Structure 1
Amino acid sequence: MEEPSTLSAMLMCGAKTCPHYDIYIDIVEAKTVDFKDVNLSDNGRPLSYINGNARIIRATLPSRTNQVGIKCIPKKSGEEEYKRQCRALERELAVWCYLNNPNTLPLSGIVTLDHGFNIFMSPSAIFDFYGHGDITMYIRSHHKPDELDRARLVSDDTGLHRVQDDDYYGLFGPRCYQLYDVTKGLAYIHSQGIVHGDIKTANVVIDPTSRAQICDFGSAHVLKCSGCIAGPPIQFYSLKSQLYLSPELSMDGDRDPPTTQASDVWALGCAMLEVQVGRLPYSDENGRYVERLAMQRQAAGEMPAGEEAFPPNTISHAIGLVALECWIEDPGDRPTAQDVLDMLREAFRSFDVPL
């Protein structure tokens, strides 16, 4: 199969006057890296712990001191499927290069791999590679879930007070601040008229300063930009992560409803559950996760967790109340990402967590 060049593939959408298209062209012209300048790590062997369809290859570039990652998407068979993948790749890169925020992973460049990697789509995205991995990997390597609530509120005659704990900020700080980072990143994405479409802990990475950044824009699209290179895809089912789906995204039968900013907020609540108390959505009352049972709970319309999942009189409980707001069944009644950010800010202030 003869592959279109990068530029000719981009012309498939035909939206030459769209700002997303213009920025995409600028990226192609300014940030394309010559493959001969790429020094692949581990002989180009992809990382084994990355979930999803993409493969990540680590590398170094002469112009950068830090290690980078190259996101490689395996090709699928069939001409129509290949065209769909081309459009999906264009959309991801067009959305990604449009974003510029401390809490979204920057797109550093693009590269066309040589013939030894022709099992992958072309071009491939280049980004800063962080050894911490995603946010759940970071948390597992730094703190145990039960350490989170060592600092609690206690009651006396004058009301509720936080127990003074020398490790308070060391224990709470990373998770609280990283959840705050994720919410700031999502609020920014939404402010740009974009739906991320696949918010989950696996799509949040931690940079060397412990700041959280949203990544993986393979499911993202721009709202109200029909026909645009970054506009909504024709099909959504392959872009969704079942465990984080809001009720309105149920894919029963032939239904394939589009992801929305409201469904992003639902998924954000699921991320709060995982990060703050170490539980997957739809776990049982003891925190055990069994996929079959979790899917049954989800299909029955249960919430990802109840208030009891968040220990009382703790900052985890305050964050849990925010998560419960994210899980309001009617998407029109859910808070916006900016609303969630404001609610988290108030929760942190009630525990004297500085922002």
Structure 2
Amino acid sequence: KALQGLQGDDAQVMIDYIHSVLLRPDLAAWLRKHSRIVLYRLCSTSMLYPQCYVLKDIVKEDSPEASGGFGDIYKGRHGNKNLCLKVVRLPRKSEIVPTLKEGMVWGELCHPNILPFYGIYYLDERREQFCLVSPWMDNGNLVAYLKDNPSKPRMPFIHDIASGLEYLHHEQVVHGDMKGANVLVSDSGRACITDFGLSSIPVDNTLVYSRGATTAAGFSSRWAAPEVLLAGGVCVTRKSDIWAFGCVCYEILVGRAPFHKCVTDTQIILKVLAGASPVGSVQPAQIDDEMWELIERCCARDPKDRPEFQEILEELKGSSVKDVDDVHAEVAPEKLHFRNAIGKREGVPIDPRRVEEIFNRVCTHHKFPGGFPELITPLHTDPTDSRSRVLASPHTPLALFIYLLLDDRGPTYKRGYGVDGSLCELLISLDRLTYPQLVHYHMEWSGCIN
């Protein structure tokens, strides 16, 4: 909460610092998750992005290619490269925050079956209107592509989508609005998942979900799992992504949307209450026995009965034209090359002394001088000898940062003992370091400075 009060330059420094930590590929999963939460909250309260996301010199066409409740899709260009500009209408701050979150979630993802996020582009000098920038896909979305190309094999697209969703779940991200229209087809014929407006980090509802384009709650009713639909869209999970994946498989193979005979959301809800399946009870001729059995398991009424994506990919082996790992190395360099070419460059300078000064100021304001007994109480775990030794640690700013990552207003109060002890031992092991040395070490560790 202390960091959330930062504004202006101070907020920008801390946003760039935390983002640089998240760029470390071997960052511990729990630390990545909590660092993301802190970063999203700070971006939301300050209305700022990491500087490396800010792009320039983009030309936007005058007329939109498509429009929706979220805003408008324009075609843009930089040099000879065509771009997709998602221009967001911003009548209220409540509309801006979900878009900021979408960009932050999307920006960290790097996988051949996830549409690359290049960054944001401000449309006016006052930075009151901006757009999310990604590559332009001439083939459009998968539903339209398959209508125009009915002879194309379907199973490679299903494998691509499963690979992309498996990656998201491995990165602790839930998509939340999976459907055929949210899958684009690349120039090389690969399926790329897009539209992360409803995505979330599944940690005790720490992050709220944003609006979408179908219902007032934001989710797409036809693809929504029963537990999501009946709760108004406030409980998207990995398991609800799996239900939606089953619906997308049906959509791809049969060419019809789930609950295709229903016209309104009310009809869909009544069907769900009656226990109806979104794909029907009769196996379509276009789907073989093995695939139909998989779709039915994905669309199981009880979330516990739905398979995980690792299991799904095992069953789909042999259906892909090209293994995902073969092209994974091509994605990150191209994405970063473009961002660096027209943005702030990858080497956004971070001043360790400025980071230290901000930490110290926050510590002083929140009365953490010379130690951090206040940090121990909210952790709700059994006291240990290491805890008492930590009380004497001179590294108050680092301790405060750890506290903010593990604020018990988020998921901490449900966390079992283990993380806290590791953090305590970390502080103890650093007792012989001065804080400036410590900050410099973290800058090197996260790749910010040489």
Fold shared by both chains (TM-score > 0.5): yes
SS at 1:94 equivalent = helix
Residue number among 316, 322, 332 corresponding to 2:294 in the alignment: 322
Structure 1 pair 47–332 and aligned structure 2 pair: CA distance change class (3 A): same
Residue number among 75, 78, 84 corresponding to 2:90 in the alignment: 75
Amino acid at match of 1:30: C
Amino acid at match of 1:320: W
Aligned to 2:164: 185
Aligned to 2:177: 198
Aligned to 1:127: 134
Structure 1 pair 172–68 and aligned structure 2 pair: CA distance change class (3 A): closer
* Structure with more helix by fraction: 2
SS at 2:73 equivalent = strand
- How many equivalent pairs are there? 293
Structure 1 pair 278–226 and aligned structure 2 pair: CA distance change class (3 A): closer
Aligned to 2:113: 103
Structure 1 pair 6–104 and aligned structure 2 pair: CA distance change class (3 A): farther
Preserved CA contact (<8 Å) 1:46 1:55: yes
Amino acid at match of 1:130: M
CA distance in 2, matches of 1:30, 1:235: 26
Amino acid at match of 1:279: R
Residue number among 41, 54, 60 corresponding to 1:32 in the alignment: 54
Establish whether residue 238 from structure 1 lines up as the match of residue 180 from structure 2. Answer: no
CA distance in 2, matches of 1:9, 1:198: 31
Amino acid at match of 1:266: W
Deviation at 1:139, TM superposition (A): 0.4
Establish whether residue 283 from structure 1 lines up as the match of residue 290 from structure 2. Answer: no
Residue number among 57, 75, 100 corresponding to 1:90 in the alignment: 100
Structure 2: where are the runs of 5+ without partners?
1-6, 22-33, 324-450
Deviation at 1:224, TM superposition (A): 2.3
Establish whether residue 46 from structure 1 lines up as the match of residue 64 from structure 2. Answer: yes
CA distance in 1, matches of 2:139, 2:55: 25
Alignment of 1:286-297 (within 5 A): 290-291=263-264, 293-297=267-271
SS at 1:188 equivalent = helix
SS at 1:96 equivalent = helix
TM-score, normalisation: structure 2: 0.57
Preserved CA contact (<8 Å) 2:123 2:131: yes
SS at 1:67 equivalent = strand
Alignment of 1:195-274 (within 5 A): 195-224=174-203, 231-233=207-209, 238-251=217-230, 257-274=234-251
Q: CA-atom RMSD, angstroms? A: 3.6
Greater Rg over alpha carbons, structure:
2
Deviation at 1:179, TM superposition (A): 1.1
Structure 1 pair 140–51 and aligned structure 2 pair: CA distance change class (3 A): farther
Amino acid at match of 1:212: A
Q: Taking every aligned residue pair, what percent have the same amino acid on both sides?
A: 24
Establish whether residue 339 from structure 1 lines up as the match of residue 314 from structure 2. Answer: no
Structure 1 pair 68–6 and aligned structure 2 pair: CA distance change class (3 A): farther
Preserved CA contact (<8 Å) 2:299 2:306: yes
Structure 1: where are the runs of 5+ without partners?
77-81, 144-170
CA distance in 2, matches of 1:122, 1:10: 22
What's the CA shift string for 1:245-272, capped at 9, x where partnerless? 11111346xx654111100110111111
